[in-house]
Amino acid sequence: MPPYLTELKDKLINTQVWRSMFRGGAWKDTSRDRAQHILGNVWLHLHPARLRQRAVKFTYTWGLGGLSFFLFMILTVTGILLMFYYRPAVELAYRDMKDLEFAVSLGLFMRNLHRWSAHTMVLFVILHMVRVFLTGAYKTPREFNWGVGVVLLVLTLFLSFTGYLLPWDQLAIWAVTVGTNMASSTPLLGAEGPFSSLLGVTNSNDARFALLGGTSVGANTLLRFYVLHCVAVPFLAGVLMIVHFWRIRKDGFSAAPLPGEPPEKKMEVWPNLVVREYIGAILMLIFLVGWSVLQNAPLEELANPNVTPNPSKAPWYFLGLQELLVYFDPWLAGVKLPGLIMLGLIAIPYLDPDPKLGVGSYSIKERPFASAVFLFGVTMWFVLIAIGTFMRGPNWAWYWPWESWAVHKPLPAPTWNLILVDLDNKFGGFFTSQRTPGLRLNGWPGIGAALAAAGGIFSAYFGGGMLLPKLVKGELPFKKSLGVAAIGSLAVGVVAKTLHTFLFRFDFIGKNIPHFGLTEIFYIAAFLFVVVAMGFLLPQKYLRASPVSPLQYAITMLLLLMMLGVVLKMGARLGFNIKYIFSLPGLNLNI
């Protein structure tokens, strides 16, 4: 800086007006002044005056939490601006979107900035969670704040979801139709969910009705989502953010002290950290402005409640869920699994047996079990998103990214159920489908046999999965076992193929599984190997001897087995067209 500018700056910051705005008397740029600048400022005092050097290092936090908050602020500002031109009524909303695009100066730009910031915020909140996990930063005393963070992630997704309806275009109405229909699959509270028929819940008093304000997405829904998006959810998220930040402060900030080491050297937050934050925010803003100039947020035709675009895709962060819905009944994929994922994430700090291990540094290798399971889950989620984004074309058929959607694809093969209990017609069925009746046992004995078989399958999977790692006492050599598991899985595939050739002449096998070739053997081998490696060998090596309590062990294994159950079920559907392992249509209970 040239000397005359430095002189000018010094004069400016020592004027009475400037000093009156920042507490602390004349500015002499001493260590005390710099600390006072943080402590005496209502905005900056969220920071400590001095912070461990590791926490200031960019590659420790990657600035993800701070940038998530910055994105929230961009969204608040652009959102308020957009509200000046937007009216949440069915006749007006889409017109206002068009006006924003063509008749309002910078209207399109503001909308783009709002949309792209929202996408970026979802990504950054997820990455922030991954970072916090990998550095063990959820451990004591930060367990509660981790839970608050999980709820904030859910609210971020819900904010995106409610905002998605507001343009009132085809994209909006169908994504929201699909999303809100999941609410009607809630057990007991949703008209189409399990057991709700027992309570007299119908489509005009269930959870979906309350969300929509009607029986389908309409004027009430638009107004409801507008209020949720602009007032209710931001308010709730704001309250939780205050708690989140306050706990960060009280729990001792990022980069928790490394256990067993002497107190570390600290760094002055002003200017070192604050400058980094400003640089991060400026770079983010430049990136988003560039993106918003170069690419427009999509806006399709006016919403038509009677015609669905083909294919109809949710925004990217919900495409994993949409893809999951292909493999499961909506009450599982749309309600139970998301709920379990959320509860499971909140439970992580309480399931972790060692409150000290791997805190304050990237500790993937020190915590092989926790890291492997968590990263497996995150990867699975993004694989599902990738499938939904790149591999799905018209009629939700499988298209490789390099294939044209004009290519004709064979019709999807008929699906079948492993076990079916038909209460209305009083029979239990095995290997049944619409076209092939399968084995049928009539009367209550048949129903009893079907229920027993289903109970047997599920208790064998969950009970066996939970006991096996504990039953094998000695430590298995991990790498060798992996090899054995691979060969074993392949052998199971070959045995299944052999059985298939014998059983092929029975219609219930021959018609439901018409082809059994190398692909099917590969499916069995690959999915079985993943499940054995993740669900047996990994816990056998790491969880068996770890100091987890029996309750912690049981919950951990239950969550792990459910995650792997999702993988298995996907394999059963993709490889063998099995629709449900167990189906009880009378109570809408399909697994």
Longest CA pairwise span in the chain (Å)? 97
CA 544 – CA 565 distance, rounded (Å): 21
Choose, by CB under 8 A, the member of 25, 40, 271, 305 that binds other proteins: 305
| Complex with other proteins: residue 450 or 485, whichever CB lies closer | 450
CB of 143 to other proteins, least distance (A): 27
C-alpha dihedral over 264, 60, 117, 83, to 10 degrees?
Answer: -20
| Complex with other proteins: residue 150 or 421, whichever CB lies closer | 421
CB of 586 to other proteins, least distance (A): 10
Contact partners, residue 543, CB within 8 Å, separation at least 6: 369, 469, 553, 556, 557
431 part of the interface to other proteins, by CB under 8 A: no
422 part of the interface to other proteins, by CB under 8 A: no
435 part of the interface to other proteins, by CB under 8 A: yes
CA 248 – CA 242 distance, rounded (Å): 10
CB of 46 to other proteins, least distance (A): 33
426 part of the interface to other proteins, by CB under 8 A: no
421 part of the interface to other proteins, by CB under 8 A: no
CB of 88 to other proteins, least distance (A): 15
311 part of the interface to other proteins, by CB under 8 A: yes
423 part of the interface to other proteins, by CB under 8 A: no
Pairing of strands 427-433, 416-422: antiparallel
* Ramachandran bin of 504, using left for φ above 0, alpha for ψ from -120 to 50, beta for the remaining angles: alpha
Site string for other proteins, 330-349 (x = CB under 8 A): x---x---------------
Pairing of strands 416-422, 589-590: unpaired
424 part of the interface to other proteins, by CB under 8 A: yes
Choose, by CB under 8 A, the member of 288, 325, 341, 466 that binds other proteins: 325
394 part of the interface to other proteins, by CB under 8 A: yes
577 part of the interface to other proteins, by CB under 8 A: yes
Q: Cα–Cα–Cα angle for 590, 162, 231, nearest 5°?
A: 135
CA 217 – CA 225 distance, rounded (Å): 10
Choose, by CB under 8 A, the member of 105, 306, 404, 501 that binds other proteins: 306
Pairing of strands 427-433, 439-442: antiparallel
Q: Cα–Cα–Cα angle for 401, 404, 410, nearest 5°?
A: 95
310 part of the interface to other proteins, by CB under 8 A: yes
Using CB under 8 A, which of the segments 26-34, 202-210, 450-458, 463-471 binds other proteins?
202-210
Contact partners, residue 241, CB within 8 Å, separation at least 6: 69, 72, 152
Choose, by CB under 8 A, the member of 181, 292, 432, 540 that binds other proteins: 181
Choose, by CB under 8 A, the member of 76, 140, 197, 216 that binds other proteins: 216
Choose, by CB under 8 A, the member of 177, 292, 371, 432 that binds other proteins: 177
The HSE-up count of residue 481 (CA atoms within 13 Å, CB side) is 16
220 part of the interface to other proteins, by CB under 8 A: yes
CA 197 – CA 3 distance, rounded (Å): 80
CB of 192 to other proteins, least distance (A): 8
DSSP output for 172-224 = HHHHHHHHHHHHTTSTTTSTTSTTGGGGT--TTTSHHHHHHTSSSSSHHHHHH
Q: What angle separates helix 107-134 from helix 64-83, to the nearest 10 degrees?
A: 160
219 part of the interface to other proteins, by CB under 8 A: yes
How many residues line the site for other proteins (CB under 8 A)?
A: 49
CB of 571 to other proteins, least distance (A): 16
Site residues for other proteins per CB under 8 A = 174, 177-178, 181-182, 192, 205, 209-210, 213-216, 218-220, 305-312, 322, 325-330, 334, 394-397, 411-415, 424, 434-435, 577, 579, 585, 588, 590
